Amino acid sequence: MRSLISIADLTNDEIEEIFSLADAAHRLRTERPANGQIMATLFYEPSTRTRLSFESAMQRLGGTVISCSDMRSSSAAKGETLADTAKVVSAYADVLVVRHNWDGAVQAMAEHADVPVINAGDGGHEHPTQTLCDLYTLRQEKGDLKGLTVVVCGDLKNGRTIHSLVFALARFGANVVTLAANGMELPQYVIERLEREYNYDLAPVASDDLNAVMTETDALYLTPKQPHQLALFTQVDQVIQARLNTMATGLRYDAFYMTRKQKERITDGAANGSYPTIGPEFLRERRFQDTVVMHPLPRVDELSPELDKDRRGIYFKQAAYGVPVRMALLKFLFDRREAKATAAKKKAVAYESPEKLGPQCRNPNCVTLKEPASTQKRFELFSVGEIGTLILGCAYCDHRFKVQFVGNVKSKRYCSYDDSLADTMRDWLNRDQLAIFDSIKEAEELGYEPVKSGPQRTLMGEVEIASALAEMSRQILRDCRDPDRLLILGVRSVGSQLAQRIAAEIEGQRKRKVELGEIEIYGAGDELKRLSPTDPDAAPLSLKDREVILVDDVIHTGRTVKSALSIIFRSGRPQSVRLAVLIDRGHREVPVKPNYVGKNIPSSEKDRVRVKLRVLDQEERDQVVIFSVISPAHGTKPSSAGAKKRAAR
Ligand code: NCD
């Protein structure tokens, strides 16, 4: 039995097969392959196109449709779980088509249904059947998808159609330019997956090139060809600017994919800035003369009505393809009722918590938080060994977050995770002994004790840390072209503490406030946050034309810095980005060179170097320490002198 939850559930060949079926939809109309079959449409959110085109498709295939006119008047209103609804309706229908406002809700229902389930949009997560329509439209208009350049515009953060579409475009080898409204950039988990699974690289595009659509926001160019290593440069000024200029001139835009602001999913009020629109100016630009304009609809005011009459406005055609494409998809799924999924998704390591307390998804709109009873504690585990940092991806909504604490089920020991434990973690995972916790409290409630660590040596004391930060601050100020443009951006959480101290030093030296921000690499969404001033109404942090100083505690593999740089470039074009780290360990996997270093510590890979700060670690004084972990799998070796403190935090 095959369901369609994510666009990754279909291989490229299968997508082509669906398109061939859609090309011959008239034949399906006479063959009536769904004769005697029933489709149930369960829509917990408004819909016109998706629902009606599914219902029309089913009827044209000879089948019939049942549905609730409004799911708010279904048993959901009485508190029925998704799991129960899925089970019950499976007995009434041969296929379920579900739209829900929670991310991952359709996956949860599919796990409990006895018939195929199709995702017609789950929260801000995915909308795979819209993507099938989008790709089909592009293919009809432009032929081969490979090598096309598609500009995705608008609310890239909350737009589920965008998320499914960019993965699909990447799989077919298209280039993607993202032109987001301010504060609505493509989520980091999406970018990261593009980088990791599809070898995509991202680079900024000069905004002049897209002036006809929008002047305020910068665009990013995502390409599979990998000639641009821009995200790895810490100096944007000359090198990158030069490349930007050449890149912008060479680009040919095949399609604009516009989306509306998803106001029902915006909770933080941040999204009030300008929004890209396609107006009459666009139609007159020579460079856009062969650029088609698409939109999943409904539109609000992103598209000028003039475009409706222009050959390039193809969104009504795109909506009309909804019927043949969905007929093809239904036929495809009915033919595979006995089959197992052959997902196109690269297999990640699956992780299920062996303990009853364990990690929780950080996405507040995820079904695992909204209705845990219908879900399991399932994740994908990334990067063991290869990147160092250990990342959990929610199996329902795909959001990613960093592993904080790890434990061993047998020894009942836990510690905070850091890169030097990567090999040990792989070993624990292979033996099914890996427990992951969000907090010390969780671990201790389950009876875990801190892992014992080997002798700990202090590398830097309080005074040395303070003078290193003061010296770095002096250098930063000396190199700064315009102190009013300075933005000190710390990587959460130790990096942002250090950033605060650097900012305080600079303020002391200059007698003026400097702006301070925090960057969260694997968080729930809002990656960039202002730390000062703390005015709740302050506009989102703007990076445009700023001299950014990125601050982190220890630079080890360089991956964290690379991710931070990609967030920075995606969020606006700074004038420059320089990197300040307290400790440089020199085990670089990516070519990142810090501009300011407190101390170089060429330690062995296995040693753990930690910056412990009074404020975060309840230490007596700030210090940088080095130690190794003794047999974390067993935890039976005698405790050594330095280990009496909690190794974990
Ligand atoms: C989209 C959706 O519901 O995600 N609409 C659709 O299915 N055609 C886009 C939107 O609502 O903006």
User: Whose CA is closest to 57, among 110, 6, 162, 129?
Assistant: 129
Average pLDDT, the chain: 84
SS3 396: coil
Instruction: Provide mean pLDDT across the span 384-388.
Output: 48
| Residue 229 confidence class, pLDDT cut points 50, 70, 90 | very low
Non-local CB neighbours of 490 within 8 Å, separated by 6+ positions: 496, 497, 498, 499, 500, 516, 517, 518, 519, 531, 550, 551, 552
Q: Is the pLDDT of residue 233 over 90?
A: no
Q: What's the pLDDT score for residue 191?
A: 82
Under 8 Å between Cβ of 629 and 470: no
Which is the closest atom of ligand 1 to the Cα of 319? 8
**In this predicted model, which residue has the larger pLDDT, 547 or 210?**
547
Q: Tell me which of 7, 127, 263 to substitute to probe ligand 1's pocket, judged by most ligand atoms within 8 Å of the beta carbon.
A: 127
- Report whether residue 49 contacts ligand 1, using a CB cutoff of 6 Å: yes
Phi-psi region of 40 (alpha: psi -120 to 50; beta: other; left: phi over 0): beta
Q: Is 297 in the pocket of ligand 1 (CB under 6 A)?
A: yes
99 pocket-lining for ligand 1 (C-beta < 6 Å): no
Residue 537: predicted pLDDT: 60
List Cβ neighbours of 441 (8 Å cut-off, separation of 6 or more).
Answer: none
Higher pLDDT among residues 632 and 538, named by residue = 538
Share of the chain above pLDDT 90, in %: 47
Residue 524 has pLDDT above 80, yes or no: no
Q: Which atom of ligand 1 is nearest to the CA of 99?
A: 3
Q: Cβ(158) to ligand 1 under 6 A?
A: no
Tokens at residue 536, please? Answer: 């709740």
| Ligand 1 nearest atom to the CA of residue 121, by list position | 4
Q: Is the pLDDT of residue 642 over 50?
A: no
Q: What are phi and psi of 476, to 5 degrees?
A: -60, -45
- Mean pLDDT value across residues 590-597: 82
pLDDT interval class at 220 (50, 70, 90): low
Rounded CA gap, 158 and 187, in Å? 9
| pTM of this structure | 0.81
> For 94-103, 269-278, 616-625, which range has the lowest pLDDT when averaged over its residues?
269-278
Confidence at residue 236, expressed as pLDDT on a 0 to 100 scale: 45
60-89 pLDDT, tens digit each: 999 999 998 788 777 777 889 999 999 999
Sequence-distant (6+) residues with CB within 8 A of 335 are none
Pocket test for ligand 1, best of 49, 52, 130, 258 (most atoms within 8 A of CB): 130
What is the 605 CA–ligand 1 centroid distance (Å)?
A: 48
Q: What pLDDT, on the 0 to 100 scale, is given for residue 20? A: 98
**How far is it, in rounded angstroms, from Cα 458 to Cα 80?**
57
Q: Whose CA is nearest to atom 1 of ligand 1?
A: 296
- Nearest-CA residue for atom 6 of ligand 1: 296
Asked whether residue 227 carries a pLDDT value surpassing 70, the answer given is no
Residue 168 CA to residue 269 CA, distance in Å, equals 30
Residue 53 Cβ < 6 Å to ligand 1: no
CA dist 531 to 27, 318, 387, Å? 61, 44, 29
Pairing between β-strand 486-491 and β-strand 515-519 as defined by DSSP bridges? parallel
426 in ligand 1 pocket by Cβ < 6 Å?
Answer: no
Whether 124 is in the pocket of ligand 1, judged by its Cβ within 6 Å, is: no
Using CA atoms, how far apart are residues 523 and 504, in angstroms rounded to an integer?
Answer: 26
d(CA 47, CA 66): 16
Amino acid letter, 191:
I
C-alpha distances in Å from residue 625, one per residue of 458, 561, 582: 4, 21, 12
Q: Is residue 566's pLDDT more than 90?
A: no
Ligand 1: nearest atom to the Cα of 160: 4
Mean pLDDT of 172-189: 84
